[in-house]
Amino acid sequence: MRESRTPGCLSARQILWFVSPTVVLVFAGASTPWIAQRVPRFTFPTVAAAGAALIVLSFVNSLVQFVRRRRVEGHLRFFSVVVNVVALVFLVLLPLTHLVCAVTPSGDGTPRIHTGFGDWLGSEGYPRMSPHRGVDVAGRMGADVLAAADGRVTVARDNRDLCGLIVVIDHDPYGLRTVYCHFSEIAVRVGENVKRGQRIGAVGTSGQRAWPGFEHVHLELQRGRNINAIEDPLPRIVGCFDDTKVYSADRLVLTYPVKC
């Protein structure tokens, strides 16, 4: 039997045929630094907002069709509804939740964490291809990024990948290193010894370009020289850097890499 629908209205299936390639293009573009750095910053958020509106429309349409089929044909067809629910959750509800969190000021003044260690959702709330290697600490564009602990700078360059402008600091006595990504400017040089709280650069959107409102520093904690030996930096973070405080010297104590 032909699919019954209101004349002039797009069916849920037609909308998904339009949305699916758009989603693939946005994901491919957003995860390719060369493309992400060249399109205007509002391009992907605008396309995502238009896609979200279409997905909501498609979801409502699928529900209407579901009820209509049950009345007219007397049986249930779940496929379209299930596809629409999945699209609604991953491409509308989760990003919307992240957006609300991003624009809501944190009560205690501490920086917001957009994405935690091992998360499968990115800063903007969309699914990731692999678990997150560090934490994304929210910050204003151009704000100072501070060294999380004493150490020696071993990398300070444009990585030309999703990390963008990167700084790596080795904290030798402890066999740990901290990695910072997405700077707009680097303020240290390779071989330089830095003190905890010293300015090492500025918050930016280099590499995997953050959407407006989601600017952040990607902070990663590695053990020794093995880039795959990573751990969650959060349990080691003791708070915002305060130069009036004395931090324990016998262990590595991370502070937030952005002022707060």
Judged by the rule CB under 5 A, the positions of this chain that interact with Zn ion are 136, 218
Cβ at position 68, least distance to Zn ion in Å:
45
Q: How far is CA 135 from each of CA 32, 216, 245, 257, rounded to the nearest angstrom?
A: 20, 9, 24, 11
CA-based nearest residue to 180, from 199, 195, 106, 118: 199
Tell me, what DSSP letter sits at residue 83? Answer: H
Buried b (16+ CB within 10 A) or exposed e, 52-86: bebbbbbbebbeebbeebeeeeeeeeeebbebbee
Distance CA 200, CA 143 (A): 11
Q: Which is nearer to Zn ion, 136 or 215 (CB)?
A: 136
Q: Which is nearer to Zn ion, 68 or 128 (CB)?
A: 128
Residue 212: count other Cβ atoms within 10 Å of its Cβ: 12
Q: Which is nearer to Zn ion, 55 or 168 (CB)?
A: 168
Residue 43: count other Cβ atoms within 10 Å of its Cβ: 16
Cβ at position 31, least distance to Zn ion in Å:
12
Cβ at position 132, least distance to Zn ion in Å:
6
Q: Which is nearer to Zn ion, 166 or 200 (CB)?
A: 166
Phi-psi region of 92 (alpha: psi -120 to 50; beta: other; left: phi over 0): alpha
Q: Which is nearer to Zn ion, 15 or 139 (CB)?
A: 139
Task: Give residue number: closest CB to Zn ion.
Answer: 218
Cβ at position 179, least distance to Zn ion in Å:
10
Q: Which is nearer to Zn ion, 83 or 234 (CB)?
A: 234
Decide if 141 contacts 204 (C-beta within 8 A). yes
Q: Which is nearer to Zn ion, 136 or 144 (CB)?
A: 136
Cβ at position 246, least distance to Zn ion in Å:
30
The encoded tokens of residue 101 equal: 């969190």
Cβ at position 71, least distance to Zn ion in Å:
49
Cβ at position 180, least distance to Zn ion in Å:
10
For residue 208, the one-letter residue type is Q
